[in-house]
Amino acid sequence: MDMAKKLAVVITAILFLAGISPDKCSLFRGTDVCLAQPEAELAKKDSEIRPEKPGAKEAKIIYRFGSAEEMALFEQMHQLKQATLTRIEVLNGYLEQERVNMEQLEAQMYIKFKISLDPYKKYILTREDMTIKEDTVVPVSE
């Protein structure tokens, strides 16, 4: 994972833990400040940053809600989806970091002891004769 992606995961995690929704954060709207701001202020700032061009096409409507309640339900479900995706990205970041840590440990073990252990095999460390033995005993299934 490159540094920019890691930074994005960390920022997203911080926002998530702080309770700031990414869709209400000006960081994700192209500005350099990330504060929880009312949607009206963000819309005003967006129009100042991106003034409408004469002759610009109007956005295509892909769905029209039948009621305010239906729209509120969609908004709630969409926010839950976004929060879930954020948590997945955070967990993926942790998983990738743990993989890197494991690879570094394996490399250090190989450099120091010239041994590479298969993670899918079981090993026994015997203190009496100071050896590592591969456990070849197969458990009997009933």
pTM above 0.75? no
pLDDT of residue 38: 54
Quote the pLDDT of residue 33. Answer: 44
- Interhelix angle for 68-113 vs 3-18, to 10°? 130
How high is the pLDDT of residue 36? 47
Low-confidence ranges of the chain (pLDDT < 50): 26-37
pLDDT for res 24: 53
- Domain coordinates of the chain in residue numbers? 3-51+70-134
Residues sharing a CB contact under 8 Å with residue 44, sequence separation 6 or more, in sequence order = none
